Structure 1
């Protein structure tokens, strides 16, 4: 091919030289033929010869620089990517400017409404505003550096607290506690709403082992080294261990979705396995922390200290189930706005009521169980036609999407900046920081082989098992929310005990540095090692497989059937999570999302009515008994989605 192109260039060059020679001969001949001719005629002939010469040279140059079709295609692709990057950057910039203007307007309103005592520098309102602003800027910078935004937010709070002058010193500890509790409640409600029980059940024993074995192993290892290094009691060490044991859905699930979207590891179900296990990992961490936190910091009678853990677990589960049943009454909450507001403030009520009695983890457990219960009951249409509009898989997606907006706008930047500002290097002993890093690495060292063993017997290669283990180390959300809870307990029950305060501050410092160390490492492992160590699975057309298509292949390896209504769910919240926020369990079903969004709302409604009419005709022809069959998940699936899809199209501006 190279020699062919070289010959072509040489031939074109020779042709150009011959054309130039012919032009010179023609010019000379014409000059000889008209020695005493008119000057205008000579000039015209000369210009004609020059034009011919230029045309020949252009033809020769075109022959030497002409691009191949492949080069042209690559150039167009690169240009499209560059335009997409510029467009994405402009979108992020406009989004940041809009947020700043909105918050600036809110700040000015509060400044003139409640007075300068609360909103000027060194006041509580000013400190909160400054933390939010710094977190937004830090998150944007982290994204540009290919890091999770939550890491930038955490470092922003850490920086503000430790620069000269301490500009956030006006933030009261009570405000910090409320911000942490609200952030924990929102992220756990989102996790519960996104929990796909069927996928967890399909994952089976492997998901159960991956949920339990690495977390418990790390908790025990951290407890032992905490006792050895910090001199903690066993229960205090176990409390720290279960705080560090939780994996971060904000990092793991989003990274797994990116791999799944590209088709990596889909045939063996690796992304789905990790996501299913991550959904219950928070439950294990919260349960372990609830059991041992009451014993770690004794208060009241010994009996109450022993019963504190079971009370928090049982009370949280019962309150979550009760509130989830209330959320399921969709005839009361017959619009998207009503459902979102009720879920949000019901969860906050659970969180703050339990926190009032110093049972923070009971409130966290209640928020998680409420989200799980509401999502399952919405999907099944419980409690029947008297109080329910019918089964729908969209309600949970819609509410989670709205909560994701609240999370990205307010809860996440405030939570991570506040937890960062809780670490004051002026107070923390210098030797605590390296010891905290050592504790984190020691726990991860035991977690990795446990995770690798947990996925044994799942048909994975050694590289795939090691990848799952490495991707199972990032920490962020639970550590940010629970890291300061022991310190809150100490300030409530052991305020004058310096030893307990030192232990609690060591736990907080360890939680913060565990985020700083493991979050970027986990993201790097998923993004870099995933495409190398996992097989890329494609269909017959060369397109990446999705989990649904991988399980829907017929005997010939072709995709059968149409995507389900759950696969057609609206999942715009994933776009917000792509910058590092929150968990995204059901987002694995978003492969077909854009396909439905392209249809106008009117046409979508017509299609739904036509399909419902066909199913009703078939039902009447078959002579099914009883009108209760209308609430069967299969026969009513299309009709049940009509309200939620209509509301989804009408409430897209909410």
Structure 2
């Protein structure tokens, strides 16, 4: 395992740096590193590290969502208002609807299989989006209209919404009935997650004020609480719906609201942690990519991804119709809401592992969506923000 970790860091950083010199997103180099050293090409990664890759990817996601929460001020989101709520679910609905309409004709699958595929593909990637939005906040690009905050918050809730839909569609494929209760879990899990995060964040602020410890210890405590929240979500599944990831982000928001100086010092530490977590996340995402699956899907799957992506961008535009954003700013939001990576890597293989007939094609399209949208989305965010944002 130690040798594999060395390969992940050294080769991932090297290839990422080479891509960065050519003005290409570093994450593209890291994903390609994962593909090359992963089990489907040279297979030099130890099986033990692949066995825990899901947990390592989740660890990286926890780090980036906590960092996002520490930088997110919900007061800023009030400026955007209605659009902030719509961005949490409307673009994903547009994308899933497009998949249900088009995938059966292009790929010859059933409507239910297309819905499962749509739920896998529809989630945006906080791991791609959040670091770039934090960078915009630091540079004060688009912050006068809270554009980076809008995209960060929407992307986080969007993932929760899509994962609940995915679970419901999988249940249907296994012969279960879809009930109104399963859809009611979406807002309930989000609300409980927010409340839990706010309460825990407030408690942590009081604890850190009374107990004199350094910032590194505070980060360790905060990470430990985040791990427990994710574990709690799994334990309470089917009993009490709670979104652990939303709770984690809400802790950061609560810390920022209660003590901005404390939040800033902790955020700096999390920024340093993200340097390593980013490499692990995207190299391991690349390692999940079966290049043979990707090639076998052919051009039809790639065309499908671009079509549903257009529908997603239309959904984003509809969210912003009554906002005070200019046309350029709306175009930027449409571009920034396209990258996929984390959720697709996490759930793309589930239908296949459950033995569903659509498993192979769902995984293929999930993999291709990562390969197409993660680098393109990151690249266009990086090259357009100066032209499109104030």
TM range (shorter): 0.7 to 0.9
TM-score (norm 2): 0.81
2:371, 2:127 → 1: CA distance? 17
Match for residue 292 of structure 1 among 166, 169, 180: 166
Match for residue 266 of structure 2 among 386, 390, 399: 399
SS in 1 for 2:291: coil
1:237 aligns with 114
Stretches of structure 1 lacking an aligned partner (at least 5 in a row): 1-123, 380-390, 537-654
2:278 aligns with 412
Match for residue 363 of structure 2 among 476, 480, 505: 505
1:209, 1:499 → 2: CA distance? 33
Higher relative contact order (CA 8 A, sep 6+): 2
How many residue pairs get aligned? The number is 383
SS in 1 for 2:336: coil
Match for residue 158 of structure 1 among 15, 29, 35: 35
Map Cα deviations across residues 595-635 of structure 1 (whole Å, 9 max, x no partner).
Answer: xxxxxxxxxxxxxxxxxxxxxxxxxxxxxxxxxxxxxxxxx
Whether the aligned pair in 1 keeps the contact of 2:100 and 2:118 (CA below 8 Å) is yes
Match for residue 76 of structure 2 among 196, 199, 203: 199
Whether the aligned pair in 2 keeps the contact of 1:247 and 1:472 (CA below 8 Å) is no
Q: 1:135 to 1:408 in 2, by over 3 A?
A: same
1:294, 1:453 → 2: CA distance? 26
1:254, 1:377 → 2: CA distance? 19
Q: Following superposition of structure 1 onto structure 2, how do residues 564-643 of structure 1 map, counting pairs within 5 Å?
A: none
Whether the aligned pair in 1 keeps the contact of 2:84 and 2:150 (CA below 8 Å) is yes
Whether the aligned pair in 2 keeps the contact of 1:290 and 1:310 (CA below 8 Å) is no
Whether the aligned pair in 1 keeps the contact of 2:64 and 2:274 (CA below 8 Å) is yes
Computing the radius of gyration over CA atoms, which structure comes out larger, 1 or 2? 1
1:184, 1:368 → 2: CA distance? 12
Report the alpha carbon displacement of residue 518 of structure 1 after superposing the two structures with TM: 2.7
Q: 1:506 to 1:129 in 2, by over 3 A?
A: same
Match for residue 441 of structure 1 among 261, 284, 306: 306
Whether the aligned pair in 2 keeps the contact of 1:238 and 1:289 (CA below 8 Å) is no
Map Cα deviations across residues 168-192 of structure 1 (whole Å, 9 max, x no partner).
Answer: 2634553122112222222223333
SS in 1 for 2:361: helix
Whether the aligned pair in 1 keeps the contact of 2:31 and 2:282 (CA below 8 Å) is yes
Match for residue 455 of structure 1 among 309, 316, 320: 320
Q: 1:308 to 1:164 in 2, by over 3 A?
A: same
Report the alpha carbon displacement of residue 304 of structure 1 after superposing the two structures with TM: 9.0
Report the alpha carbon displacement of residue 513 of structure 1 after superposing the two structures with TM: 2.0
Q: 1:226 to 1:352 in 2, by over 3 A?
A: farther
Tell me, yes or no, if structure 1 residue 484 matches structure 2 residue 351.
no
2:223 aligns with 344
2:193, 2:349 → 1: CA distance? 26
TM-score (norm 1): 0.51
Tell me, yes or no, if structure 1 residue 332 matches structure 2 residue 207.
yes
2:294, 2:131 → 1: CA distance? 36
Whether the aligned pair in 1 keeps the contact of 2:95 and 2:309 (CA below 8 Å) is yes
Stretches of structure 2 lacking an aligned partner (at least 5 in a row): none
Structure with the bigger percentage of helix: 2
2:251, 2:135 → 1: CA distance? 28
Q: CA RMSD in A?
A: 3.7
Report the alpha carbon displacement of residue 154 of structure 1 after superposing the two structures with TM: 0.9
Map Cα deviations across residues 332-388 of structure 1 (whole Å, 9 max, x no partner).
Answer: 3333344322220111122245447889xx77x313223314532662xxxxxxxxx
